[in-house]
Structure 1
Amino acid sequence: MLYSSGYPSISVIVPSFNQGQFIEDTLVSIFSQQYPNLEVLVLDGGSTDNTVEILEKYSDRITYWHSKPDKGQADAINQGFAMSTGEVICWLNSDDMYLPGTLLDIGRRFQGRTDQPYLVYGNTILLYQDGEEHKAVNSQLGEPFDAFQLTHYDFIPQASSFWTRKLWQQVGELNLKYSFVLDWDWFIRASQVTSFDYIPKFYSLYRIHEAHKTGVGGEKRRQEIMEIVEIYSSSYWTDLYAIVSEHYAAIRAKSQFLKRWRVPKWQTVLLLLIPKLRAALETPQHLFKILEMYG
């Protein structure tokens, strides 16, 4: 790698499995950053679609890639970070993209800080896709850093987060037991080492589609969220998540009904319909944070 530019070296890890319809967009979004000190490692879990064909197409620009079975997304990312050399590291899932200028902005922010445990995160654009059609665009805004809030509400857009190798070494690898909250668990552990810097800029595009992992996680994903809250957060939040989980089907059904019929102040009405939940809440906003987490 060349260091004459003054920019710190960045390693982007791309975990992949059967995302051949999207991974070319992901790779192009990385290469088009024109970042001077960049390495890209793609860890594919043995895809059976056209992923390998695309990786071969870009093999002269990919620092390292393989396609073979692994133990899941966390394992692929851990492998990638272990092989990487960048002073700044991050991962981009194979259906997401970086926005133009992201890595140059990040590189500037990390100049002179690569010897510290340091993490930066920003915002992401949400792209809702149905087949080949883009249905809608929304946004996920990060929030100013709050270590306690992070224990019960994940406000960090993973695709728009970047950190030093020094921080990774101090925190340790992703936990292989998690399929859906692997990033949140790691962010919480990292927040016990250092505070993070929130940058109110858009760095990435997060694609939501038919096979989107978070969207199809269902009960298993909710169980993982509950476990994180039980491990790291307070008894109030643990109890509140448990009550919401107990009444989750009813909450969803009632809220959908109220919104469908455009009931005024439907959030207030919803709480009236579920007294046990209303009694447990310090503020109604807490319920909607949990529902946002559950999706």
Structure 2
Amino acid sequence: MKNALISVITVVYNARPTLESTIQSVLCQDKNLVEYWIIDGGSTDGSIDLIRKYEHQLAGWCSEPDNGIYDAMNKGIDRANGKWIYFLGGDDTLRPNVLKQIEPYLDPKYSIVFGDVMFDNGHRMRSFLGPRTIFQNTVHHQSAFYNSSLFVNFRYDKSLTIVSEYDVHLRLYIQKAYTRYVSMIVADCATGGASSELSKSLTETNQVRARYIKNKWKNKLLSCFLRLYYIQKKIRYLIYGHRV
């Protein structure tokens, strides 16, 4: 659909057990609103056969080796035609009819419109942009609809492996971009994804923040606080046995 309002992009690699639910959750949305792209990293687990099963309902798909999740996301952006871009993981699902529900809020004046996600452990995460965004990423990718204008001169940093979206969110907060939060659950998400790799997340978060916060000592202080925050997250995981 050349005039689709929303381009949904699923980046996937060897996710055959969950991918069909992901695909079906997109294809059951209002077809007048969405075009659907699947970017596969060269799966070998039968994911390709599954994608071919639904290819007549897709805007398009490809399967080839990539340089990580953000390289694959960039490929999706290059193909997208929608006024808004949404990324859905291969083990996540859109809520029924959610694109129709979010449509009234997708005003071109906003750079990003976002809501909440529900994790499979029952935890509802509310995304937001605020002072804490300087500390760490506060917007969940699966909750966010990005104005395609954001990607005219921007692509995700392929050298990062799990927090490149923080670059977008922090920049929007610092620039005081016009954004909108909507109190609705956009997607159901699996726990224990790449962003739960706390050590790597700490390193990359500090790396991205340093691009925008030039005060060395402020960055060091924020880094120390983030390390303490991640330590207590590890302790909570050991005690309660779940991870977000």
TM bucket, shorter chain = 0.7 to 0.9
Change over 3 Å in CA distance of 1:218–1:254 after alignment to 2:
closer
Letter in 2 for 1:141: R
Larger Rg: 1
Distance 1:61 1:24 in 2: 13
What secondary structure is seen at the aligned counterpart in 2 of 1:238? helix
Corresponding residue number in structure 1 for 2:209? 229
Distance 2:11 2:114 in 1: 20
Corresponding residue number in structure 1 for 2:194? 213
Partners of 1:95 and 1:206 within 8 A in 2? yes
Distance 1:154 1:254 in 2: 18
Instruction: Give 1:29-178 correspondences, 5 Å limit.
Output: 29-110=25-106, 113-114=107-108, 116=109, 118-127=111-120, 136-143=121-128, 145-146=129-130, 148-169=131-152, 172-178=154-160
Letter in 1 for 2:178: S
Unaligned stretches of 5+ residues in structure 2: none
Distance 1:20 1:64 in 2: 18
Deviation at 1:175, TM superposition (A): 1.1
Flag the structure with more relative contact order, 1 or 2, with Cα contacts below 8 A and sequence separation at least 6. 2
Corresponding residue number in structure 1 for 2:167? 185
TM-score (normalizing by structure 1): 0.72
Partners of 1:2 and 1:37 within 8 A in 2? no
Distance 2:13 2:6 in 1: 23
| Percent of matched pairs sharing the same residue | 22
List, as ranges, runs of 4+ consecutive aligned residues in structure 1 with deviation greater than 4 Å.
234-237, 244-249, 251-257
Change over 3 Å in CA distance of 1:253–1:56 after alignment to 2:
closer
User: Structure 1 residues 234-243 or 88-97, which shifts more?
Assistant: 234-243
Distance 1:248 1:159 in 2: 23
Letter in 1 for 2:211: I
Partners of 2:163 and 2:195 within 8 A in 1? no
Distance 2:85 2:135 in 1: 25
Partners of 2:113 and 2:181 within 8 A in 1? yes
| Matched length | 239
Partners of 2:115 and 2:144 within 8 A in 1? yes
Distance 1:195 1:253 in 2: 32
Change over 3 Å in CA distance of 1:189–1:247 after alignment to 2:
closer
Across the aligned residues of Structure 1 and Structure 2, the Cα RMSD in angstroms comes to: 2.9
Deviation at 1:255, TM superposition (A): 5.0
Partners of 1:35 and 1:104 within 8 A in 2? no
What secondary structure is seen at the aligned counterpart in 2 of 1:176? coil
Change over 3 Å in CA distance of 1:43–1:242 after alignment to 2:
same
Distance 1:179 1:107 in 2: 31
Distance 1:138 1:238 in 2: 30
Partners of 1:2 and 1:36 within 8 A in 2? no
Corresponding residue number in structure 2 for 1:281? none
Change over 3 Å in CA distance of 1:256–1:208 after alignment to 2:
closer
Partners of 2:127 and 2:143 within 8 A in 1? no
Distance 2:122 2:115 in 1: 17
Distance 1:99 1:218 in 2: 28
